[in-house]
Every structure is written in structure tokens, then in C-alpha cells.
């Protein structure tokens, strides 16, 4: 069983739609990261969460520590949001574990 489970694996949306990507984890964590990876490999860290909610532009990330669950929301999606979104948790012992990623395609 993976320590980090993401859903959905693949997601296609029309431009302007509201998008939610979910992440569940099974271990105690000190922090959860949402990462974005565009074709070609470069990874950008979008958020680092240890509690509550963070917002940056059209992106919102929430975490519920008790339920071991986090969501990444994209409001008013745009084709440039097309990428793979990866949930990563930093375990209390400091190791990182990664979800398998959600491949998002936003159609104009």
C-alpha cells in the first residue's frame, strides 16, 4: 500500500472549470507539499502546508490533519494549468513520500 494516494490519476477539464485534486496519506507528517511538473521535467513547488489553507492566485490548497487528507483546487482553470500535479508528504522521521501524480489537461 502506498503511503500517499492521489485521485484522480487523469483529469480533463474545459477552460474556466473549477478543478479539485485529492491526496490522502497514511503516515504522520510534518508537512505536505503540492508540486507541479510540466512536460520536460521541471518541478515547481506550489504549496507547503502543515495545517489549514493557503491561497496563491487561482490556486487553493487545504489540509485536514485529523483526516490525513489534502486537496488542491484550481479556480477558473486555464490551458497553461495543464501539467502533472504531485502530492508529497514529509514524514515525521523526515523522509519524503510521493503520490503518483494527477495529469491535468485543460482544453480551450
Q: Which residues bind other proteins (CB under 8 A)?
A: 30-31, 33, 35, 41-45, 48, 50, 86, 88, 90, 93-101
Measured from the CB atom, the residue of 13 and 29 that comes closer to other proteins is 29
User: Measured from the CB of residue 15, what is the shortest distance to other proteins in angstroms?
Assistant: 27
User: Measured from the CB of residue 59, what is the shortest distance to other proteins in angstroms?
Assistant: 15
- Decide: helix, strand or coil at residue 79: helix
C-alpha separations of 17 from 43, 44, 71, 81 in Å? 24, 22, 16, 11
Contact 10, 106 (CB under 8 A): no
76 phi-psi bin (left φ>0, alpha ψ -120 to 50, beta other): left
Measured from the CB atom, the residue of 42 and 108 that comes closer to other proteins is 42
User: Measured from the CB of residue 94, what is the shortest distance to other proteins in angstroms?
Assistant: 5
Amino acid at each position: 500500500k502506498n503511503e500517499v494516494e492521489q485521485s484522480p490519476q487523469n483529469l480533463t477539464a474545459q477552460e474556466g472549470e473549477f478543478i479539485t485534486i485529492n491526496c490522502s496519506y497514511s503516515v504522520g507528517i510534518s508537512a505536505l507539499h503540492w508540486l507541479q511538473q510540466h512536460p520536460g521535467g521541471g518541478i515547481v513547488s506550489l504549496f507547503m502546508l502543515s495545517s489549514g489553507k493557503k491561497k496563491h492566485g487561482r490556486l487553493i490548497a487545504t489540509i485536514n490533519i485529523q483526516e490525513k487528507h489534502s486537496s488542491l483546487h484550481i479556480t477558473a482553470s486555464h490551458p497553461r494549468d495543464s501539467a502533472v500535479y504531485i502530492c508529497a508528504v514529509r514524514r515525521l522521521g523526515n523522509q519524503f513520500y510521493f503520490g503518483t501524480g494527477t495529469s491535468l489537461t485543460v482544453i480551450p
